[in-house]
Amino acid sequence: MNRREFLQFLGVSGVLATLPGCSTQSSPIANPLPHLAPFTEDKLVTVDGLDYKILIRWGDQINATQKFGYNNDFIAFHPLTSDRGILWVNHEYVTPRFIRGEERTKAHVDEELLEVGGSLLEVKLQDGQWSVVKDSKYNRRLDANTKIPFAWDQKIAGSSFGIGTMGNCAGGYTPWGTVLTAEENYDMFWGDRNKKGETIQKSWLEWDKFYPRPPEHYGWIVEVEPLTGKAKKLVSLGRCAHECAAVTKAKNGKIVAYTGDDSAYEHLYKFVSDSSDSLEKGKLYVANLEKGQWISLKREDHPVLMKNFKNQTEIQVFTREAAKLVGATPLDRPEDIEFDPLTGNVLVTLTNNKARQNYHGSILKIMEDHNDPGSLTFKHDTFLPGGTEHGFACPDNMVFDPKGNLWFTTDISGGDANKGHYEGFGNNGLFVFLRSGANKGEVIRIASAPVDAEFTGPCFSPDYKTLFLSVQHPGEYSESLSKLSSHWPDGGKPKPAVVTITGPLLDKIVSGKV
């Protein structure tokens, strides 16, 4: 489709007459922004007008006894003062060959247990650049050894707490200032089993070989207090391969949290709290897109759930099984979720589903009835399709700026990059979809990641002059330590890192002067 048709598709036809290039005769964009072409080299490259600096990398010391973990992902900024804040950074999983080696021994696993979870870091702004405060009292780690209670009135798999958090992918931030971190692919560490106790997935990291922890203790949304590191697992939001937890308020003031289950044919969930300042009690729903309905997962609301589950706790633990029984719509890997500040719509990245021959993914738009997150009915549409027309494939993490521009990253698997259906897309990138000005409706590649890497966790500083960004798993598909596919960022063994992106182009875009 051409640009005019594309804008009409997005539902902005009412302003077409004001946009350059949208008259009946094509005309050039008055002030085109620089575009970064697809890039395949082992570098982090930004478009003209932007620069990046490394804030912290894997293995950097954060206090006297702890180091920054591996495979940094979601980032949340908790402000302290105008020039200081606390960053929460997820650490999703490990690539054994880069930690200590692929051999599965208890000593190797013990080291890997320390690399996942999350980091809390105090950062300060000086001369326009952020840096980590190395001796801060706030710097601490949560890892796979951290004892975390379940916020629930019954025990989970025989315990009132779980040991550790891992698989931490994306997340969210609450109105009362806590961070939500999502335990996604817990099965790679502990395997998984169904309600009958039958193994349905074996772990490939084999942590369970040395620490036989119940898989039911993982796959939760974990709430963390940035100032103290105190955490709890929110059983109320259900258990699955959570990618994120996006929090907003319903019109009645109650808290609403949306989460996506990042697996092919899995589902989109919504939790409506009983409270305006807590996520511990409320009702969990799952989306049926065909009917435009949020379907309750309360046991007493469905005979089929009464028949198949002995209590509500069992539904919370085996949420996927319950969702399928009530008719949830299977989706193409629902990942990150954000709220459109211009429309109030809920945007969901659907990364891909190769089994459906959906290779490029899309961004789904949920339009809650009455524009109320507390509504139980909605309409849906495609907000932005992936593919060659718009130059991106496999959208993943998202963030909006104050002008409603959508910044998003892509997640083409390192094994697929620049081959087959992904030929011509280059390495994974950071993109921005512009919502105003002469370039409205354009998708611009802002940055390109190193080989095998993806960008994750885009997060703006409070003044929107800095974009924090994770660079995850560079060189993940290396043949061996002697045949590395990436040497980013230091020229030796590849290291995940958090970078800061600044520059006049960032200022121009977030201020709406494009």
Asked if the model's pLDDT at residue 4 lies above 50, the reply is no
Q: What is the pLDDT of residue 25?
A: 34
How far apart, in Å, are the Cα atoms of 293 and each of 248, 258, 288, 299, 386? Answer: 19, 14, 5, 17, 26
Asked if the model's pLDDT at residue 13 lies above 50, the reply is no
CA atoms within 13 A on the CB side of 193: 14
In tens, the pLDDT along 147-199 reads 999 999 999 999 999 999 999 999 999 999 999 999 999 999 999 999 999 99
What average pLDDT does range 454-470 have in this prediction? 98
Q: What is the pLDDT of residue 29?
A: 47
| Arithmetic mean of pLDDT over the chain | 94
In tens, the pLDDT along 52-111 reads 999 999 999 999 999 999 999 999 999 999 999 999 999 999 999 999 989 999 999 999
Q: What is the pLDDT of residue 7?
A: 39
How far apart, in Å, are the Cα atoms of 92 and each of 118, 206, 411? Answer: 8, 16, 14
- Parse the chain into domains and list their residue ranges: 1-30, 31-335+346-510
In tens, the pLDDT along 375-425 reads 999 999 999 999 999 999 999 999 999 999 999 999 999 999 999 999 999
Choices 3.40.50.720, 3.30.479.30, 2.120.10.30, 3.20.20.450: CATH for 31-335+346-510 = 2.120.10.30
Residues 6+ apart with CB under 8 A from 284: 236, 237, 238, 269, 270, 271, 296, 297, 298, 316, 319
Read off the pTM: 0.93
Euclidean distance between CA atoms 420 and 452, whole angstroms? 16
Q: What is the pLDDT of residue 31?
A: 66
Helices (H) and strands (E) in the chain, counts: 8, 33
- For the chain, what percent of residues have pLDDT higher than 90? 92
CA nearest 464: which of 39, 112, 77? 77
SS3 content of the chain, % helix, strand, coil (to 5): 15, 35, 50
Asked if the model's pLDDT at residue 1 lies above 80, the reply is no
Euclidean distance between CA atoms 295 and 314, whole angstroms? 17
In tens, the pLDDT along 225-253 reads 999 999 999 999 999 999 999 999 999 99
What average pLDDT does range 360-378 have in this prediction? 98
Higher pLDDT, 34 or 328: 328
- For residue 221 the two structure tokens come to 């949304």
What average pLDDT does range 256-280 have in this prediction? 98
